[in-house]
Amino acid sequence: MMATPHMLAGAALGRLTRRPWLAYPAAFASHFLLDYTPHLDSHALYGVAGGGPTAPEAAIGITDFVVGAALIAWLAWRRADRRVILGGALFGIIIDLVENIPPLGAWFRTWAGTAWLSAWHHALQHNVTPEQWALGVGTQVLVVAIALWALRRRGGRGAATGPRRAPAS
């Protein structure tokens, strides 16, 4: 799955739970659940089987991450619960960051203490083919829509307030 849905889902879990001790493990677990759902990512579109990232794959991945991070920063701006939102976003994407940023990735995939997690993470992937793009993109659009709704909704217990508009006179 692309980075933006992972980060938004983690941020939404942070917003909904408001407790780091609950939000961060839930956001981390959500990564695996989302990877298990059918999805289309840049590797399926531009990657080479068994090879490292191609230039288009890397460009899409970096752009996706930057857009997702900017969106999270904008949504968390001036919110009292921004730390748990930002932390949730980080924990929602952390395994992909660790696996794809050298030299951490090679170490993470080969060290006995984490190799099992990396292998399990990759075994869970349910990537669809480019011919199934509607399903692969649709699941991600749905995750983004639900997460944006959760992040933008007003109310809830102990709701943090952001900038408010002055009442009309």
> Which range of residues forms the domain containing residue 30?
3-152
pLDDT digits (tens, 9 = 90+) for 118-130: 999 999 999 999 9
In a domain, 98, yes or no: yes
Total domains in the chain come to: 1
In a domain, 74, yes or no: yes
- Looking at the chain, list the stretches that DSSP marks H as alpha helix, in order from N- to C-terminal side: 3-17, 20-36, 42-46, 55-76, 82-100, 104-110, 112-124, 133-152
Distance between CA atoms of residues 14 and 34, nearest Å:
16
- The H or E element containing residue 2 is none
In a domain, 133, yes or no: yes
What spatial distance separates the first Cα and last Cα of the chain, rounded to whole Å?
47
> Comparing 76-80, 90-94, 158-162, which segment has the lowest mean pLDDT?
158-162
Residue 160 pLDDT class (50, 70, 90 cuts): very low
Distance between CA atoms of residues 9 and 92, nearest Å:
7
Check if the beta carbon of residue 32 is closer than 8 Å to that of residue 124: yes
Average pLDDT over residues 52-81: 92
pTM of the entire predicted model: 0.86
Checking if the pLDDT of 72 tops 80, the result is: yes
What pLDDT shows up at residue 162? 47
Checking if the pLDDT of 165 tops 60, the result is: no
